[in-house]
Structure 1
Amino acid sequence: MSLLEATPELDLVVWPDDRSCDRTWLLGNIPGSTGLVVMLTEKVDSEILDRAGPSLKVVSTMSVGYEHIDLRAAAQRGLRVGYTPDVLTDAVADLSVMLALMTSRNAGIAMAVAKDGQWPNHPWSPFALCGPQLSTMASSPARKAGFLGFGRIAQATLARLVSFGITHCLYSSNPSSPTNHERDAELAKRYNLQSVTKVDIDELARESDFIFVLAPGGHDTYHIINENFLKQMRRTSILINASRGTLVDSDALARALREGWIWGAGLDVVEGEPNVTLDHPLVKEPRCIILPHIGSATLETRRAMAVRAAQNVIAGVLGGNMPAEVDLSGYR
């Protein structure tokens, strides 16, 4: 806010509450606006853009994802769209590893035993609350981390996993993207890995001990983690999703957990969020760790995202270079 308030060319109209903006309020206040700052919770569609009128120049979202913005409608109106990549890479990578550890060590079940006062009824036994170990041991010298999507956050997650003794990295990305052999060889050398290899999605499912879903949302990746994928995973494998809930078929994942196709799942995102209640099939699964979309929720990261969103809208309004602008050339 200090950046926006210090820009004399701007008159600010601000939603006053610390919660999702009411759409009726937005529709009532947006006419004549030059710039619009939104969150993931605001659906920026033709109705909003038409109500804003021809004065609107830029939409700036405080998020790395922009599926909530109709990019085609924005491009057709000659608008610019800003977003906040890079600044949340480390926070989401940290959380991805945290989810892997929590899931593999049955943290959800274990915490419930303590918090519900059931510890006296769960005496120690040799294999109580055991799960597959993230780090390598002499008895399991090979440990394979798989990534669906291999962008900035996935590579930052891989860097964190190296200290646990991960030996192989497998990844699957956009099939139309050429394999970057030089980069993969450099990553393998930097992290002393036996291999960094691009594979198809079926091999990713079959060969990975831990699978990290860190790909963008959208039509092309909708339910890419489905029954067929889950059935190919190992019974001791763990699925982590810190990207978009729409990539994972929740019903198929719940069945996979219930019937033991995989060991467990750690989710920061769930399709249909925030409408995820006690009767949701994944909430009912004890080996599913669910967090309420807190991947970027560090004080440092959220401040950086806010700054980037403000810088984007200021540049968009004044005709300058936006720090992070979505390429809309393919939507015109």
Structure 2
Amino acid sequence: MSSGDVRPKVVICRDLGPAMPLLMDRTDIEVVLWPENRGCERAWLLENIKGAAGVLVLLPDTVNAELLEAAGPSLRVVSTMSVGYEHIDMPLMAQRKIRVGYTPDVLTEAVADLSVMLALMAGRNDGAAYTLVKDGDWPKFNWSPFTFCGPQLSTTASSPTRTVGFLGFGRIAQATLTRLVPFGITHCIYSGSPRAAPDTARDAALRAKHTLAALERVDIDRLARESDVLFVLTPGGDETYHLVDAAFLRKMKPLSVLVNTSRGTVVDSDALATALREKWIWGAGLDVVEGEPKIGKDHPLAKEPRCVIVPHIGSATFQTRMDMATRAIDNLVGGVFGTEMPAELGGGRKL
């Protein structure tokens, strides 16, 4: 930026594709964009953040004291193109009075879609069945009546009740429940944060809307014991770290399915691999895994035939990613100019 250019500088850590004109066409800001089609290098970010008024980050980009020191006092806003914000030191943001934007709501429907998809895939042995065809082994396959059978998601005459469980019962969980009701789900149970008071009015309304036999908040033990399909849809962080551990998994039904589309750290990967190998549960469908993206073919979960893993694609629809990018840009611009941010975390400062 030249000495005569007083436009605020914003740093963008990844090309946002079709949403980029929303930034590049503006004449009131200077845009500094990471130029490569891969994750932003830390050294580049630390160099270019100097004197910036705002930065747009993604989940791999850690926002900590190091980054703020490099930026200097000019930094007004951090906008992340994600719902999660574990990569941002929120107490430090509050201390420095730096506003923080994120992208909730817009990915609810896409993640709910994927959650149901993974439940079906895991229950119906999609990983092993797909591999059979992909590897060219179908012609050699010896069919028998119960080969590749798994637990049915929908109710049947011989199995007239189905209980779906949710670890976390926010927007995405409720959207997932809406999609599951037509399968004949009869009971819904969930566990939420101990700090949050039960919402009995909401629960009663949802039970009536979906004509469920029961919809109730339960403790973790009962959630594990009674869920036919359990969806992990809770935030990450210290409070939920390895909440689904060996003790939890041992309480689950032998024909139950675990789905995680929230945070990999909530589920103990080694314990889940053991649960699948020793048949404590039937299967698992994962969009997130602790330690991602460093999940190779030798990872314990990748070796389990009843574990379906996709590479964190919960929000990967054209519509949702465009909405997320637009929300992140709007948050960034609002923070830079001290105006309204569509989705702001905490307090921060306004001009």
1:81 aligns with 2:106: no
The residue number in structure 1 matching 2:339 is 320
In the alignment, the residues of structure 2 paired with residue 123 and residue 5 of structure 1 have an alpha-carbon distance, to the nearest angstrom, of 59
1:254 aligns with 2:269: no
Helix, strand or coil: the match of 1:176? coil
**The one of 265, 285, 290 aligned to 1:266:** 285
Residue correspondence of structure 1 range 226-245 to structure 2 within 5 A? 226-245=245-264
**The one of 288, 293, 302 aligned to 1:283:** 302
Query: Partner letter of residue 259 of structure 1?
Result: E
Query: Partner letter of residue 42 of structure 1?
Result: D
In the alignment, the residues of structure 2 paired with residue 287 and residue 184 of structure 1 have an alpha-carbon distance, to the nearest angstrom, of 33
Q: CA deviation at 1:123?
A: 2.6
TM-score using structure 2 length: 0.93
Helix, strand or coil: the match of 1:306? helix
Helix, strand or coil: the match of 2:104? coil
The residue number in structure 1 matching 2:113 is 94
CA shift digits 1:17-44 (9 cap, x unpaired): 2221111110111000000000111011
1:25 aligns with 2:44: yes
In the alignment, the residues of structure 2 paired with residue 23 and residue 214 of structure 1 have an alpha-carbon distance, to the nearest angstrom, of 30
Helix, strand or coil: the match of 1:7? coil
Helix, strand or coil: the match of 1:137? coil
Residue correspondence of structure 1 range 16-95 to structure 2 within 5 A? 16-95=35-114
CA shift digits 1:195-250 (9 cap, x unpaired): 11000011000000000000000000000000010000000000000000000000
In the alignment, the residues of structure 1 paired with residue 36 and residue 340 of structure 2 have an alpha-carbon distance, to the nearest angstrom, of 30
Contact 1:71-1:328 at 8 Å conserved across structures: no
The residue number in structure 1 matching 2:144 is 125
In the alignment, the residues of structure 2 paired with residue 17 and residue 90 of structure 1 have an alpha-carbon distance, to the nearest angstrom, of 30
In the alignment, the residues of structure 2 paired with residue 308 and residue 5 of structure 1 have an alpha-carbon distance, to the nearest angstrom, of 16
Aligned residues: 329
CA shift digits 1:91-132 (9 cap, x unpaired): 000000000000000000000111111112223211010000
Q: Which runs of 5+ in 1 are unaligned?
A: none
**The one of 143, 165, 173 aligned to 2:184:** 165
Contact 2:94-2:346 at 8 Å conserved across structures: no
1:307 aligns with 2:326: yes
1:205 aligns with 2:227: no
Percent of aligned positions that are identical = 62
Aligned residues: CA RMSD? 0.9
Helix, strand or coil: the match of 2:205? helix
Helix, strand or coil: the match of 2:235? coil
Q: CA deviation at 1:72?
A: 1.2
The residue number in structure 2 matching 1:4 is 23
The residue number in structure 1 matching 2:168 is 149
Contact 1:172-1:204 at 8 Å conserved across structures: yes
**The one of 203, 216, 226 aligned to 1:184:** 203
**The one of 134, 157, 177 aligned to 1:115:** 134
Helix, strand or coil: the match of 1:43? coil
Further displaced range: 23-32 or 320-329: 320-329
Helix, strand or coil: the match of 1:13? strand
Helix, strand or coil: the match of 2:215? strand
In the alignment, the residues of structure 2 paired with residue 243 and residue 113 of structure 1 have an alpha-carbon distance, to the nearest angstrom, of 29
1:174 aligns with 2:205: no
Q: CA deviation at 1:328?
A: 4.8
Contact 2:97-2:347 at 8 Å conserved across structures: no
The residue number in structure 2 matching 1:196 is 215
In the alignment, the residues of structure 2 paired with residue 153 and residue 63 of structure 1 have an alpha-carbon distance, to the nearest angstrom, of 14
CA shift digits 1:61-89 (9 cap, x unpaired): 00010001111111111100000000000
In the alignment, the residues of structure 1 paired with residue 35 and residue 179 of structure 2 have an alpha-carbon distance, to the nearest angstrom, of 39
TM-score using structure 1 length: 0.98
Further displaced range: 173-182 or 241-250: 173-182
Q: Which runs of 5+ in 2 are unaligned?
A: 1-19
Contact 2:111-2:315 at 8 Å conserved across structures: yes
Q: CA deviation at 1:293?
A: 0.3
In the alignment, the residues of structure 2 paired with residue 12 and residue 159 of structure 1 have an alpha-carbon distance, to the nearest angstrom, of 41
1:105 aligns with 2:140: no
The residue number in structure 2 matching 1:216 is 235
In the alignment, the residues of structure 1 paired with residue 143 and residue 346 of structure 2 have an alpha-carbon distance, to the nearest angstrom, of 56
In the alignment, the residues of structure 2 paired with residue 43 and residue 102 of structure 1 have an alpha-carbon distance, to the nearest angstrom, of 33
